[in-house]
Amino acid sequence: MQQALGPETVDDLSEQTGVPRNDLLSQLSQALPTLVDRLTPQGRIPEPDEMARSPQSGRVDV
C-alpha cells in the first residue's frame, strides 16, 4: 500500500488523520478493496448517467 500511494502521501494522511502510519496502512489495505468493488460494478467504472441514476449516488459505505 505504501509503495502504491508513496511514502509522502502516507505520511500526510497519517498526520491529517492522527492515525499511526502502520495502523493507517493496515486500515487502507482492508478498506480499499471493498471501496473499489463498490465504485466499479461489473469491474468497470460506471458512466456518468449510470452514477446519476444510482440511489446511493455520491455515497460509498465501507
Q: pTM for the full model?
A: 0.63
Angle at 36 between CA 48 and CA 54, to 5 degrees: 35
Has residue 40 got a pLDDT over 90? no
Give CA separation, 48 vs 3, 40, 52, 55, in Å: 31, 12, 6, 13
First to last CA, the chain: 18
How many CB atoms neighbour CB 5 within 10 A? 16
pLDDT in tens, 4-30: 999 999 999 999 999 999 999 999 999
What pLDDT score does 52 carry? Answer: 78
Domain boundaries, the chain: 1-38
DSSP reduced 3-state for 31:
helix
> What is the chain's mean pLDDT, rounded?
85
Q: Locate cell 473499489: which residue?
A: 36
